[in-house]
């Protein structure tokens, strides 16, 4: 008598299932790691734009509110605050991995009608009203005009 070959049941064996789960786990970990790096890079890129815009925002705030405001740097954030103190009108946190060539304290004063008065810009690149921002191995020079316009060049 010929014996019929045994029919294999449909489905996966435990070993096959464990191998697939292991591969999916490795792929998921790689995706999370790359996603985290991409998010950090995007945060630093966004910060560069925010620094450029904060001077214009300060000048327009002083003009529209007919007051005097200052851009303050405390080593961890840049904030537009009313002259003499008070709650920040606008602020931006400095992400990890970013360095600014600014000393802590009041950087500039914004007065009506939208004028930027330099108080403490080091002038270390492209003229007296400038400062540097270093991020991801690149250095950017920010040069500020008296009306809040910012010219950015890569060093």
Write the pLDDT tens digit of every residue in 64-74: 998 999 999 99
What pLDDT does 62 receive?
93
Q: Residue 6, preceding bond cis, omega within 30 degrees?
A: no
Question: Mean pLDDT across the stretch 46-52?
Answer: 89
Cβ neighbours, 10 Å, residue 75: 10
The whole-number pLDDT of residue 125 equals 83
Residue listed under structure tokens 């910012």: 150
Q: The tokens of 33 are what?
A: 């790691």
Higher pLDDT, 40 or 115: 115
Q: How many residues does the chain have?
A: 155
Domains of the chain, first to last: 15-154 (3.55.40.10)
Q: Work out the end-to-end distance of the chain between its first and last CA atoms, rounded to an integer number of angstroms.
A: 87
Q: Each residue of 109-131: pLDDT tens digit? A: 999 888 998 888 888 786 788 99
């Amino acid at each position: 008598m010929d014996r019929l070959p045994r029919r294999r049941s449909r489905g996966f064996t435990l070993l096959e299932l464990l191998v697939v789960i292991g591969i999916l786990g490795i792929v998921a970990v790689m995706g999370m790691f790359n996603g985290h790096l991409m998010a950090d890079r995007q945060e630093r890129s966004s910060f560069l734009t925010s620094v450029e815009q904060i001077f214009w925002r300060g000048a327009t705030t002083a003009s529209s509110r007919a007051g005097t405001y200052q851009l303050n740097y405390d080593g961890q954030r840049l904030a537009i605050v009313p002259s003499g103190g008070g709650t920040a009108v606008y602020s931006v946190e400095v992400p990890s991995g970013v360095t600014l060539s600014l000393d802590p304290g009041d950087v500039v004063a914004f007065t009506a009608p939208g004028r930027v008065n330099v108080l403490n810009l080091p002038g270390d690149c492209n003229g007296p009203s400038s400062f540097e921002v270093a991020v991801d191995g690149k250095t950017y020079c920010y040069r500020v005009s008296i009306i809040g316009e910012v010219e950015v060049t890569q060093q």
